[in-house]
Structure 1
Amino acid sequence: MFESGHGSQAVEGLSTVVASLRTLEGGCDGERIDLITELEVLKAAVSAAQARLSVAFAESQEAAQAAAGVPARERGRGVAAQIALARRDSPHRGSRHLGFARAMVREMPHTLAHLTAGRVSEWRATILCRETAVLTVDDRREVDRRLAGDLPSMGDAQVARAARGLAAQLDPESVARRASKAAAERCVSLRPAPDTMTYLSGLLPVAAGVATYAALDRRARELIAGGDERGRGQIMADTLVERVTGQATAEAVPIEVNLVLPVDALLGTEDSTAELVGHGPIGAGAARTLLSAAAASGAPIWFRRLFAAGECQLVGLESRRRLFPEGLRRFLVLRDKVCRTPWCDAPVRHADHVVAAGRDGPTSAANGQGLCAACNQAKEARGWSAQVVSPGQTSQGLTQRHRVRLRTPTGHLYDSTAPPLFDGGGGDRAADGSRPDFSWAERALELRLAAA
């Protein structure tokens, strides 16, 4: 996944410690409990060390950018993303890690001391940072000082309550600012759930959330009293769908669904895995059920061949334009599924040229990748570069998946490989499909369903 050529005694020393943990067992149960305790101390101390190193790295990178003439408004661009990659995390979380580190090192010396000594966990320190984010630096330091004595013995909820109480006492206006900011961030999100289900979540002001839940609960009780055989939760879920969409029943929702599945799975001759775009893998049986339900409701179904026999990827997709045309962009989304930056699970928002178009990079499937907005911006920062290691074409009898190598300003390398079309379907395979670990069919279809 990544390579590093920056060896040092400190790095080698830590590598030795990590190696020694692989065989750590303990002689008796009492010793095992002691070791678990010491390892928790070690985890906290490591978090503190990461915070100090992150701040030092950010300051050094920003100073180097300033010396190179980077405008003040652009300094720091890509720094949090490098920290995220080093921690095998998404760039979004990298910004959180860096923000936490700066708060610990610059504004909360007592909490940092507890973290360094292993007396509090990184998560507990993060809660304190989060609950004091709206305070001035001086007020934040005061909260840090007042909680210093009790912090090691407090639980997560206790830390949050105590921090909120002190924040309200030191700066009452911060409570109003925090509430206003939170209300402005209200949103609705969708994420996959097991068994072809999904979680639809709403982040709402408390009054709106309670009122919405009460209305759904009231409707469920009315229908149950009238003899409805569905459960209370089922009725609430169906009522939510009906009221939001305006449909008479929850099943008759006008939606568009993209489904990718092997041809043999569509015909029922093979029980492999299909891919519900934006959701993830589902069983072939569930995919056929979805198609049957769509057809029964009178939904039009569009078929488009994606993969020809003997190929695991589309090849030769080219465009003379700088921007990716819609068909090619859709292919990148279907191939990459989520942002291609290692450890980033964000949805694809940008069709990106691996080698920039300004550097004569072609607008093609081989030179394209799906990225989220944050990763695309980080990749364009000074000192970043990328290259295609494997174009995802048949070569020497093997059909290899698309692979990109990302280089950060410090020279670290991170490889990103496009996932299998159908999860569980195996990796690279012979062009004749003979490898046993490649279970999905040679041909696949994209189906677009729209309920009538």
Structure 2
Amino acid sequence: MGDKALAGAARRAGAALDAESLAERNRRAVASRRISVRPAADGMAWLSILGPVKDIIGAHVALTAEEKRRHVLDPDLPADQWEAAAAAARADTRSKGAWLADRALELLSGRAKDQPQPVDVNLVMTDRVLLPAAFGGKAPTDDVAVIPGWGVIPGADARAHIAALLDQASDMADTPAFVWLRRLFTDPTGRNLVALDSVRRRFEGGLRRFLELRDPTCRVPWCDAPAVQADHTQAHAEGGTTDAANGAGLCQRHNLVKEITGWHVRVQSTGLDGTGSHSVRIMTPTGRVHDSTAPPILGEGWLEPAPDVHLQDLPLPQDPWHGWMPDPPEDWLMDHEELQVA
């Protein structure tokens, strides 16, 4: 008996001995059903569903049955469409697993077959990555885009996805638009997002999304918890404005802690004037001071692009031997000359 068969036999024996306990555990397990998403390597991600076994197996069987029919032509098709349908079936070279994954995602997101994903994904890319033709037709060396909180994808994939969305939108002119191109403006270095102003007291809408992108984790330096709340650095009651400069993403705990007597937080740099990233200074009740700087919008490890430099702007090369050894003292020269004369 193998390990799998042995485990099954043990479960059956346990169920026979205590059926009531098994039923109670099953009821608790059903109440814990959920869905989760976690990043994977190379621009991929896992989507997991935990649910009753009968429902999960039923969904898998339905998908598998549809996959088996994908190369079977509909007998009710008109004769003039058979050739095109057969050509489309032959052109679909996806593996079984790839087809099942594509179809499951289409069904879950409500898309038609082969329709690009219309959900507003915050895809961050520089102007050089999005429009390489405008910069000499060549993509930059750092040809990547970023989905904040998930990771890096190739710039070519990002451009292809946007192009597919635009093509689909042009073919569906009579339907509600489903293409959102959100420009996330950066400063000249490409490191920092600029601000969105708001006359409201609460951080909502585009301003809230902006802070979520700029501050993916809590801005307290020693805390890596997700930034689930957006709040004023300088309190609104004390004259603080509701904008990106005075806003910060914080975890729930530290958003409450900063309101305790003895804690002081102020904005050091707005990140808007070209002098650096958005920065706040935190002083604790014990007098310790901590500076918190917003991370690069393209993620830690991103290198700022080198500036465009023309050859005529480069300085002339110096003598390669210049400065490698100090000049000898004058008395050494005098002694050396006397030695030569002698």
Assess same fold via TM > 0.5: yes
Partner of 2:206: 327
Indicate if the aligned counterparts of 2:277 and 2:294 stay in contact, CA closer than 8 A: no
Amino acid in structure 1 at the alignment position of 2:305: S
How far, CA to CA, are the matches of 1:274 and 1:323 in structure 2?
A: 30
Partner of 1:102: none
Cα displacement string for residues 84-129 of structure 1 (whole angstroms, at most 9, x for unaligned residues) = xxxxxxxxxxxxxxxxxxxxxxxxxxxxxxxxxxxxxxxxxxxxxx
How far, CA to CA, are the matches of 2:124 and 2:182 in structure 1?
A: 10
Which one of the candidate residues 284, 293, 300 is aligned to 1:417?
293
Partner of 1:287: 158
Indicate if the aligned counterparts of 1:425 and 1:439 stay in contact, CA closer than 8 A: no
Partner of 2:192: 313
Indicate if the aligned counterparts of 2:192 and 2:296 stay in contact, CA closer than 8 A: no
Indicate the structure (1 or 2) with the bigger Cα radius of gyration: 2
Which one of the candidate residues 294, 305, 310 is aligned to 1:439?
305
Q: Which structure: greater helix fraction? A: 1
Cα displacement string for residues 11-63 of structure 1 (whole angstroms, at most 9, x for unaligned residues) = xxxxxxxxxxxxxxxxxxxxxxxxxxxxxxxxxxxxxxxxxxxxxxxxxxxxx
Indicate if the aligned counterparts of 2:187 and 2:272 stay in contact, CA closer than 8 A: no
Instruction: List aligned pairs for 1:104-253, cutoff 5 A.
Output: 176-223=23-70, 229-253=93-117
Query: 3-state SS of the aligned residue for 2:245?
Result: coil
Closer, same or farther: CA 223–191 of 1 in aligned 2, 3 Å: same
How far, CA to CA, are the matches of 2:155 and 2:41 in structure 1?
A: 15
Structure 2 residues not aligned, in runs of 5+: 1-9, 74-88, 133-138, 170-177, 309-342
Q: Which structure: greater strand fraction? A: 1
Amino acid in structure 2 at the alignment position of 1:231: S
Cα displacement string for residues 162-217 of structure 1 (whole angstroms, at most 9, x for unaligned residues) = 9xx99x99x98776555434322322222333333222211212222222223323
Partner of 1:266: 130
Which one of the candidate residues 219, 224, 227 is aligned to 1:344?
224
Query: 3-state SS of the aligned residue for 1:352?
Result: strand
How far, CA to CA, are the matches of 1:321 and 1:191 in structure 2?
A: 34
Structure 1 residues not aligned, in runs of 5+: 1-161, 427-436, 443-452
How far, CA to CA, are the matches of 2:29 and 2:208 in structure 1?
A: 35
How far, CA to CA, are the matches of 2:27 and 2:107 in structure 1?
A: 28
How far, CA to CA, are the matches of 2:304 and 2:145 in structure 1?
A: 14
Indicate if the aligned counterparts of 1:388 and 1:403 stay in contact, CA closer than 8 A: yes
Indicate if the aligned counterparts of 2:200 and 2:242 stay in contact, CA closer than 8 A: yes
Partner of 1:95: none
Q: CA deviation at 1:280?
A: 2.9
Whether 1:402 and 2:268 are equivalent positions in the alignment is no
Partner of 1:257: 121
How far, CA to CA, are the matches of 1:414 and 1:177 in structure 2?
A: 51
Cα displacement string for residues 129-177 of structure 1 (whole angstroms, at most 9, x for unaligned residues) = xxxxxxxxxxxxxxxxxxxxxxxxxxxxxxxxx9xx99x99x9877655
Query: 3-state SS of the aligned residue for 1:261?
Result: coil
Partner of 1:379: 257
Closer, same or farther: CA 242–312 of 1 in aligned 2, 3 Å: closer
For normalisation by structure 1, the TM-score amounts to 0.47
How far, CA to CA, are the matches of 1:309 and 1:201 in structure 2?
A: 40
- What percent identity do the matched residue pairs reach? 34
Closer, same or farther: CA 246–302 of 1 in aligned 2, 3 Å: closer
Query: 3-state SS of the aligned residue for 1:244?
Result: helix
Cα displacement string for residues 255-284 of structure 1 (whole angstroms, at most 9, x for unaligned residues) = 223222111222224243322245333232
Indicate if the aligned counterparts of 2:201 and 2:242 stay in contact, CA closer than 8 A: yes
Q: CA deviation at 1:220?
A: 2.9
Q: CA deviation at 1:297?
A: 2.0
The number of aligned residues is: 266
* 178-187 or 224-233, which deviates more: 224-233
Q: CA deviation at 1:375?
A: 3.6
Indicate if the aligned counterparts of 1:366 and 1:388 stay in contact, CA closer than 8 A: no
Partner of 2:5: none
Partner of 1:296: 167
Report the aligned-residue RMSD: 4.4
Closer, same or farther: CA 184–331 of 1 in aligned 2, 3 Å: same
Closer, same or farther: CA 375–221 of 1 in aligned 2, 3 Å: farther
How far, CA to CA, are the matches of 2:257 and 2:22 in structure 1?
A: 37
Partner of 2:319: none
Amino acid in structure 2 at the alignment position of 1:195: D
